[in-house]
Structure 1
């Protein structure tokens, strides 16, 4: 990845050029909002790395909002916005205000620069796929957004989410057909290093994910698009996973040129400013414990709570505490210091002797290997694909290659094995996985529930996607954490992000057109188009 550092500094400058308008009249044949000689491969790299490497975005969107909303984590004061439902427009607006002038403007421009260029057809197709992927995160969080006119340097109209999704399906189909291993080599690609076969699989797998968003709002279209995606060829093993391999660097919010996006920003969020790292929630721990999930002992660990701790130097005290109390999480909406406040216990730790484990030490955390700064960010996994195929088979019939039970079993096995992709992560045994799958078979009438509970686990650390899948499926049946520790600003789990104030002020005429679909108010309790009861 180090070879991209110089490129990224150039890309950061390009973002500023692309986001600003020219104040002097020049050649009217040159778009004043575009650099005349920008390399689209650099723009691709920048967009890919920023997706999971920009701390300003990922801390707020994932760590502070979506991961607590979907009840993966809680306990830290920084989780209160999503865990206790405190409405903070700045946090909800940060993705919008960071992505449009950076990630999105670059990938939009990269698509334009390579469109119709004979020796860049593969690069163009890859950029089109990344454009869909980047915009999907946006529209799934906000709903209707500027799309068709985005990046043009004008006050862009808002496209309906339905129209945006129609465009997504068309773009992914066209881009997949355009990819050709016999044509140009894609430079600057950190997802797949230019592997055209894997890009086709990712495009089709992303197509499947987006198709399954529509199961409530338009089941017929969901089925048709899911079938199209499957027939075109989706992921078939963990070697197909789309991921970013980050460097072992704790990203700051900013540095000169805003270029430090090399580390995993979601991981950095857990240790930012010496804050108390989040803990697992009681519902998440209960799901693993009550099903005898073998992943529990690997991903849930106890550590001595030290302000100077990092994923590399934490003292693991799991072996000492599990025999005493099992795995203790924190109720959604609670802080680590809330009740029950556990009395200190004396334990013997190799190399440290007898220590007093405090209340904080006795609340279980994410294992260090999951949140190392060089942990890979998993954009889409084979596990997710198999579980979606299992659900598609239940909903639409046996036209997705195998039985729902077979897809389900493969999805669980892949989820267990993907832990080994993390530095220091475990390689689970066949016996562990097979016993678990046998004990947790699909039950008639509960297939959708059980499949999506496994997706809830699989999507740990991908907050926006876990949040989207929970909203579209309704599982697990999360209980709102209303007034647990403090008075909440919503009586239900919020369903979307509100638009930023900047859009209300600077693009007000277009902003007002989307309010009727939300019931007349830009509320986080409104629902995006595909999120139906």
Structure 2
């Protein structure tokens, strides 16, 4: 596969990028900036950040598997899920995205934008880097709130070692400007950037990605600035969005699981599968019950029961049908462990193996193998999400976005079902299954937003920070907090707290940021767009 060849080709260069950016010679031409490599290719910096976004195991394990995925009750059960599942505050896990992301992803993409901004031979590359910069910062500001933005990543070029914190409102205003300008500057007659991993230089798809990302970010503002949201949604639509699943922004990873230093495997998958037996998370019953209630045909493919849990997924036996026949399809409740509600072993007949005993852990459904392979693709932004967001915007404001809410919503349902086939060994749902799903889940008056955003939550499985952001902005699904004796708060947290290192090294600026949070850095506070 071309993408996977590209991953191997650029790995060595990618791993050297932080070293190159930080290195300098003791002596040299005084007209050359000694703080950066003079010949570092910004294409490699773009590839590096694309690869790391979902490939960095530490960030994706801590941010997704430990924190946000259990917080939105998509998974539960594993011991390390408890921080997000039962709200046990852990500053280290909340800090990883910041402390690893700024010196790697932010530093490289900010430098790549600077290197290309005045080069007439790299106008497309510059536009792609600007779009990627917005995408990287969006994940960070959505989790933390006010963050260093305008001065971030510039310490070695400008001497700013204590960057100011920009207000999230100002950051978002710049996001919309950057995405529109960068999208408009993309030109098929200009430089080809075939090495990049999202679309291999396809300019038309990059334009759609920029506009579709603008749509996503515009919908963040529905509570805090609905007029701004409405205007940006309409302009993004007019500029051209995703039109089918071939437009999905994704990276196909390699089947590599060699620990935290490796970025060629899907970091979410590696974060799940580095644990074995009952150490692996199970599907949360909140998700299973929602999909049961809607007669979702994807459930039978997504949630599977496995006998034994060795390191290699290929060695597990799928015993879903036999287990369902005796106990049904069971997950783990939010806030519970795999050993809670303990189930006695059951005997089943397995073809070629005879009678085998399936213990408690084998009876509780896990995410299907095809979803958690190390070479599974990571979906950054999907056509399904775009159609669901258009449907929601139509319900809210009755805009002209290519159809009525029913039509847009059903396009989203179909796309969310068919995108599963893009995974290696992923299921191909039949047209009958999809049509029945649509019939069973019509938009009911007064419940349109709930129905649409519940489906966004399901469609965003495996992209937990985005599911967490969408839940906070909409309130859907209506999650019931999983409070236990271990919980350190009685509500589902709304943001990540700032790292202690930032408070020590950038105290003056961080104190200003705390004003927006009511003077207290607490994970129950709300970011700017998460207005009550």
Shift of 1:312: 2.2
Confirm or deny: 8 A CA contact 2:221 2:529 kept in the other structure.
yes
Q: CA RMSD in A?
A: 1.4
* Distance in 2 between residues matched to 1:250 and 1:320, nearest whole Å: 30
- Matched residue SS, 1:522: coil
* Distance in 1 between residues matched to 2:321 and 2:495, nearest whole Å: 40
Unpaired stretches in structure 1, ≥5 consecutive residues? 255-259
Confirm or deny: 8 A CA contact 1:54 1:261 kept in the other structure.
yes
Cα distance change on mapping 1:194 and 1:350 into 2, 3 Å: same
Confirm or deny: 8 A CA contact 1:147 1:159 kept in the other structure.
yes
Corresponding position of 2:531: 532
Confirm or deny: 8 A CA contact 2:6 2:195 kept in the other structure.
no
Corresponding position of 1:417: 418
Corresponding position of 2:250: 243
Q: TM-score, normalised by structure 2?
A: 0.96
Shift of 1:532: 1.1
| Cα deviation 1:298-355 (Å, max 9, x = unaligned) | 111100132x2432221100110112222111110100001x2111111111122111
* Distance in 2 between residues matched to 1:391 and 1:525, nearest whole Å: 27
Shift of 1:250: 1.2
Q: Which moved more, 1:428-437 or 1:29-38?
A: 29-38
Corresponding position of 1:290: 293
* Distance in 2 between residues matched to 1:172 and 1:220, nearest whole Å: 19
- Matched residue SS, 1:379: strand
* Distance in 2 between residues matched to 1:250 and 1:67, nearest whole Å: 20
Confirm or deny: 8 A CA contact 2:224 2:528 kept in the other structure.
yes
Corresponding position of 2:138: 136
Cα distance change on mapping 1:290 and 1:442 into 2, 3 Å: same
Corresponding position of 2:158: none
Confirm or deny: 8 A CA contact 1:8 1:42 kept in the other structure.
no
Alignment equivalent of 1:163, drawn from 143, 159, 170: 170
1:330 has 2:332 as partner: yes
Confirm or deny: 8 A CA contact 1:64 1:82 kept in the other structure.
yes
Shift of 1:29: 4.2
1:506 has 2:513 as partner: no
Aligned residue runs from structure 1 range 15-30, under 5 A: 15-18=18-21, 20=22, 29-30=31-32
| Cα deviation 1:188-213 (Å, max 9, x = unaligned) | 21110000000000000000000000
Aligned residue runs from structure 1 range 44-443, under 5 A: 44-153=46-155, 154-254=161-261, 260-274=262-276, 276-306=279-309, 308-338=310-340, 340-443=341-444
Q: TM-score, normalised by structure 1?
A: 0.96
- Matched residue SS, 2:306: coil
Shift of 1:490: 1.1
* Distance in 1 between residues matched to 2:387 and 2:26, nearest whole Å: 54
* Distance in 1 between residues matched to 2:495 and 2:33, nearest whole Å: 35
* Distance in 1 between residues matched to 2:475 and 2:124, nearest whole Å: 38
Cα distance change on mapping 1:31 and 1:528 into 2, 3 Å: farther
